[in-house]
Structure 1
Amino acid sequence: MSAPRILTTLVGSYPIPSWLVANPGEQALKDATAVVLHLQELAGIDLVVDGELYRFDPNHPETNGMIEYFVRQMGGIRSDIRRADIDLFRSQAHLGFRKRPAAVVEGPVGEGTLNLVEAYERVAALSMRPIKFTMTSPYMLARMLLDTHYRDQSALTFALADVLAAQVRAIDAACVQVDEANLPGRPEDAELAAEAINRILDAVPNKPAVHLCFGNYGGQRIQAGSWARLVKFFDLLRADHVVLELARPGYGDLEVLRDINPKLKLGVGVIDIKTTVVEKPDEVAHRIQTAADILGGAERIAYVHPDCGFWMVARSIADAKIHALVAGRDLFEGKPASERSQFAEVPA
């Protein structure tokens, strides 16, 4: 049986098991992570993720720690938010959807107690498959903070990038992915974001990747924008591949990426995580074919995946979509029916 040319992966997050929320603990977290990894293995996912459970906070199980997990452990950053902080943050009016800062920068940003290496090693011990480790972009982190120290967006962004890059050097994952959901709404910051993210990508021992989407909160799109407005950003990136939200917005915008840096491979979103309707394998295969046709061939496509993380989707739906992803990829590549992933219907 030949290996697939286009690989499957998830973006990062997975719905937190209810039993972990009800009975949190170190062993329960380890068990939950093992479950998330194993269900991907059973489905046939090529590059697995831990569901971002390494960021699980039993005090705030409703979040996936995309911002707070990182910044609240760093040195120079205060996590208790005062009324004056909120007023000052709101007066800056740069984030309409966020009413309070994630934390306050009061001094030089340092590593503090953040230990991504240990977090990765705990995950790596639970699977024999190639693992992707995800982290939030320094540009996105900086945008969520109230900065009373640097008072300069670029300086803060680069300081955060350097802290993350120093840790990434010791993470031997098959792939390290930097997640950026803010830049698509602010393409004018392409150079700043690219320079900061590249500091991390350059430190990745194996494959560096960048995920971009238009936001995913409450199943809603947060940012307005298009991939056409980010061509400059793509050309500046020193990544192996980008992981893009495409199933929900559609593939018409993909044509602008035909002429970007040819060394940058593409990850194509073929599973819409903002709907509870589970795709059929032939629908997934059709989406891959559509993207390939627009790009002038499938050679540029390195991965297919969901548009974004599954953390706000019911587990039964997420699991069925994962199976549909693999089955659709197999169908596109002409894999015999007897060898394809078994598609799991959502229970009625």
Structure 2
Amino acid sequence: MPEPSIKTTVVGSYPLPAWLAAYPSVPNLRDAILVVLKTQELAGLDVISDGELTRFDVNHPETNGMIEYFVQPMSGISSQMGRKDVDDFRAQQGMGFRTQPAAVVEGPIGEGELDLPSSWQMVKELTASPLKFTVTAPYMLAKTLLDRQYGDLPSLTMAIAEVLRRQVEAIDAPVLQVDEANLTGNPEDATWVHEPINHVLDGARGERALHLCFGNYGGQSIQSGFWANLLGFLNNLHVDHLVLEFARRGYDELEVFTDLREGIALGIGVVDIKDNEVESPDVIAGRIQHAVDLLGEERVKWVHPDCGFWMLPRSVADRKMQTLVVGRDLFLGQAAG
């Protein structure tokens, strides 16, 4: 069966099953991942994910899978912090949504006990469907840390990028996606952030993707900004496709991407993950049609939710995935006709 001209996928996360939260164990975690994979397969998604459940720590369920999961196992980083550490972190710019750092950088950063390849190996054996593997961007991770070693944010970010690069080089995922949700509100850093992100992406063995959004904490956006402010950054990326938030924000900024360099495909967010209302297939198809009319079939190659599903009820997330596929198929049928 030929691949569709526009593929469907998720961004990454899936709501944590209540029974896993109540009874965390390694067997239950494996079962939960199987459930998440099968749910996406039944929805008909072209590329699926582990729901980021391989980041779930059965011994410490409270661990933040987006941040702490990555940084706390690294060497040179300590999760022990005092009041002065917290006060110093709160004085940093652009991190008002966090009350304390994820950890403190006390020495040169190394891989330590971080083992992303083992997580990948675990999930790839549970499905025959094409998978994406997601990692948090080095810039976003660096912004959550209190640095007492490197002295400047670019150096800290590149040190983290080097660790992630070594990890992803051992992961043979069909799609390797880097997730960045802080730069959108800090475009002044866009002049250099492409370098550490490219360092990670260059280690990918499959298709390279970057997800950008405006945050999803408690179902709320935490960054404000405009895509136009990041166009130069996007054009400097070593990326095959972008995974961008649009459904929540609207599509007025789509025209910005007419100036995106050739060779970068666009993934368009057509499902709002900050709203429990499930979009109809007609709405999904209409959003795709609008993007294709403006940017062309050669540019729009992926459709997906705006961000991860982790804040939604499972029943809502499942229905949104189903209508995403039906809406895409409706568009392709209309386009073919």
Pick the TM interval, shorter chain: over 0.9
Does residue 49 of structure 1 match 2:49?
yes
Map 1:37-186 onto structure 2 (within 5 A): 37-58=37-58, 61=61, 64-186=64-186
Inter-partner Cα distance in structure 1 for 2:319 and 2:291: 22
Q: Which runs of 5+ in 1 are unaligned?
A: 337-348
2:323 maps to 1:324: yes
Q: Which amino acid aligns with 1:214?
A: F
How far, CA to CA, are the matches of 1:252 and 1:22 in structure 2? 43
Identity within the alignment, %: 58
The residue type paired with residue 307 of structure 2 is: C
Aligned-partner Cα distance in 2 for 1:35–1:96: 36
Counterpart secondary structure, 2:140: helix
Alpha-carbon distance in structure 2 between the residues aligned to 1:328 and 1:63: 35
Residue segments in structure 2 that go unaligned for 5+ positions in a row: none
Deviations along 1:218-260, whole A, 9 cap, x unmatched?
1101000111111011110010001000011011101011121
**Normalized against structure 1, the TM-score is what?**
0.94
Mean Cα displacement is larger for which, 80-89 or 158-167?
A: 80-89
SS in 2 for 1:299: coil
CA gap 1:103/1:13 in 2 versus in 1, 3 angstroms:
same
Deviation at 1:59, TM superposition (A): 5.9
Give per-residue Cα distances to partners, 1:37-71, cap 9 Å, x unaligned.
01111111000000000111346646651000000
Deviation digits for residues 62-93 of structure 1, max 9, x if unmatched?
A: 66510000000000000122211101111224
The residue aligned with 1:310 is 309
Paired positions, count: 335
TM-superposed CA distance for 1:3, in Å, is: 3.2
Distance 1:25 1:17 in 2: 13
Once residues 212 and 101 of structure 2 are traced to their aligned partners in structure 1, the CA distance between those partners, rounded to angstroms, is 22
Q: Which amino acid aligns with 2:249?
A: P
CA–CA distance in structure 2, aligned partners of residues 174 and 100 of structure 1: 36
**What is the distance in 1 between the residues matched to 2:6 and 2:202?**
24
Q: Over aligned residue pairs, what C-alpha RMSD do you find?
A: 1.4
Deviation at 1:94, TM superposition (A): 3.4
Partner of 2:203: 203
What letter matches 1:35 in structure 2? V
Distance in 2 (alpha carbons) for counterparts of 1:307 and 1:63: 24
Q: Secondary structure at the match of 2:242?
A: strand
Q: How far did residue 292 of structure 1 move? A: 1.0
- Do the aligned residues in 1 keep the contact of 2:24 with 2:59 (CA within 8 Å)? no
Tell me if structure 1 keeps the 8 A contact 2:13–2:309. Answer: yes
Query: What is the rounded CA distance, in whole Å, between the counterparts of 1:207 and 1:47 in structure 2?
Result: 12
Q: Deviations over 1:168-212 (max 9, x none)?
A: 111000001000000000111113211000001111011110000
Instruction: Tell me how far apart the structure 1 counterparts of residues 185 and 321 of structure 2 sit (CA, whole Å).
Output: 28
Distance 1:64 1:7 in 2: 29
For residues 116-140 of structure 1, give each alpha carbon's deviation from its aligned partner in whole angstroms, at most 9, with x where no partner exists.
0001000100010111000000000
1-structure distance, mates of 2:288, 2:33: 29
**Greater displacement, 56-65 / 173-182:** 56-65
Equivalent position SS for 1:130: coil
> C-alpha separation between the residues in 2 aligned to 1:140 and 1:210?
13
- Give yes or no for contact 1:272–1:306 (8 Å, CA) kept in 2: yes
Alpha-carbon distance in structure 2 between the residues aligned to 1:64 and 1:322: 24
| 8 Å CA contact 2:208, 2:240 repeated in 1 | yes
- Tell me which amino acid in the other structure corresponds to 2:189: D
Report the CA distance shift for 1:219/1:51 in structure 2 as closer, same or farther (over 3 A): same
Residue 23 of structure 1 corresponds to 23
Please tell me the residue identity of whatever aligns with 1:306: P
Higher mean Cα deviation, 26-35 or 51-60?
51-60
Provide the secondary structure at the position in 1 that maps to 2:304.
strand
Question: Post-superposition shift, 1:95?
Answer: 1.3
Q: How does 1:198-347 map to 2 (within 5 A)?
A: 198-295=198-295, 297-334=296-333
Q: Distance in 2 between matches of 1:52 and 1:190?
A: 27
Structure 2 CA distance, aligned partners of 1:48 and 1:5?
Answer: 17
